[in-house]
Amino acid sequence: MFDVAQVVSRLKMNDWANSSTSVVLDQSWTRVERSVLVAVLSVEMVLGVIGNCLVLLVKIMCRGRFPCRYWVPFVSLTLSDLGSSLLIISGSLLAMLTKGQRSPWCEVVSLLKFAFITSSIGSIAILCVQRAKGVASTGRGASVVVALACLASWLTGVVFGSIPVVYNWIRYDPAEMLCAVFWESSYSDMLVYILCAFSICIVIPFLLILFYSLFTAAGCERNCDSDPDDLSSVTPLIVAFYLFCYTPLAVSELILLGRLDLSPAPDWLRTLSSVMSYLDCGLNPIIYCANQDFREAGLALFWTSRKLLFSEPVLTSVTKLEL
């Protein structure tokens, strides 16, 4: 039967898509709201870029000064946070200032955001599995396997992030302050994609994180006391803050999935989901500093460099000259 309501809904959606071909949409932000969001995004970008660069520097230059048996997923997580801070948060900040994002940067941002989210939760899941089983990344064989697992999480994110780009589901969303997926096809297409993407990229890593975190907590005396100063001691904090920061994003996607008219979640929730997910990139470097050995290694690196730079010349030898 000819469904008039469905045709009207499709026409409205096509009209909106045609009006957004320039990918410049204006959100009804007040000047105060826009200023606050720009300030928040700026702080998150600075924290994420500087913090993760310093973390990588400490991990590379001070690797032998603090114990880190599971360094591969830590490096993968740091690279994901740094990439998100450099490309995604800066893109949102620029979109707030220019009131939009243009193609092809629009599609690139959407793809990279999905890749960074998938790689970060995948890296945390691998870290939890390693920590629970006590399989360190120090051995050659183990480090290769773990590196391949981290690479698989990155590639999975790229593949699923590419699908909306290929099918032209990407539009600029003023509420999210970057380009996101808007569904212009049927509900069944959206349902299949979201179920596959969430099951493989989100649900499976989340279940691994939950199960192995509880397993580690139950067997903490056997797993953690062997080396309590290892950097992996901050894993519970990383997991807790990750789940806290990405809860609004998960709720926003579930609301979209539950609406048959394909309408997105409320604007305020989509804005909150972006701000909170960006916050996690800047919090992780601070969480690493909760480990005393890592913190002392970082302080020793910069303090020693400063002392060498500004130290006065010291007399080390005397040579006699015959006159």
Q: Look up residue 205 and give its amino acid.
A: P
Task: Yes or no: say if 230 and 171 are a contact pair by the CB < 8 Å rule.
Answer: no
Residue ranges per structural domain of the chain:
31-216+231-299
Task: Yes or no: say if 17 and 92 are a contact pair by the CB < 8 Å rule.
Answer: no
User: Under 8 Å CB-to-CB from 87, ≥6 apart: which residues?
Assistant: 109, 112
Q: Encode pLDDT of 72-118 as tens digits.
A: 899 999 999 999 999 999 999 998 888 778 878 888 998 999 999 99
- In order of 37, 135, 196, the CA distances from 120 in angstroms are 24, 20, 18
What whole-number distance in Å separates Cα of residue 143 and Cα of residue 148?
A: 9
Per-residue pLDDT, 10: 46
Of all residues in the chain, the percent with pLDDT exceeding 90 is 33
Per-residue pLDDT, 84: 94
Per-residue pLDDT, 112: 92
For strand 178-181 and strand 170-173, is the pairing parallel, antiparallel, or unpaired?
antiparallel
117: nearest Cα among 149, 57, 158, 151: 158
Largest CA distance in the chain: 115
Helix (H, G, I), strand (E, B) or coil at 170: strand
CA 49 to mean position of chain CA atoms: 12
Tally of CB atoms within 10 A around 244? 13
Q: Specify the residue for token string 């026409």.
A: 11
Tell me the pLDDT band of 316, cut-offs 50, 70 and 90.
low
Bigger pLDDT: 191 vs 6: 191
DSSP string, 171-230: EEETTTTEEEE---S-HHHHHHHHHHHIIIIIIHHHHHHHHHHHHHHHTHHHHTTTSTTS
Mean local confidence (pLDDT), 235-264: 84
Residue 242, token pair as written in the block: 């990750």
CATH homologous superfamily for the domain 31-216+231-299: Rhodopsin 7-helix transmembrane proteins (1.20.1070.10)
Angle at 204 between CA 202 and CA 208, to 5 degrees: 115
Per-residue pLDDT, 28: 61
Tell me the pLDDT band of 17, cut-offs 50, 70 and 90.
very low
Per-residue pLDDT, 155: 95
Tally of CB atoms within 10 A around 15? 10
- In order of 18, 188, 189, 267, 293, the CA distances from 262 in angstroms are 18, 10, 11, 14, 50
User: Against a cut of 0.85, is the pTM above it?
Assistant: no
What whole-number distance in Å separates Cα of residue 70 and Cα of residue 147?
A: 11
Tell me the pLDDT band of 318, cut-offs 50, 70 and 90.
low
Per-residue pLDDT, 20: 40
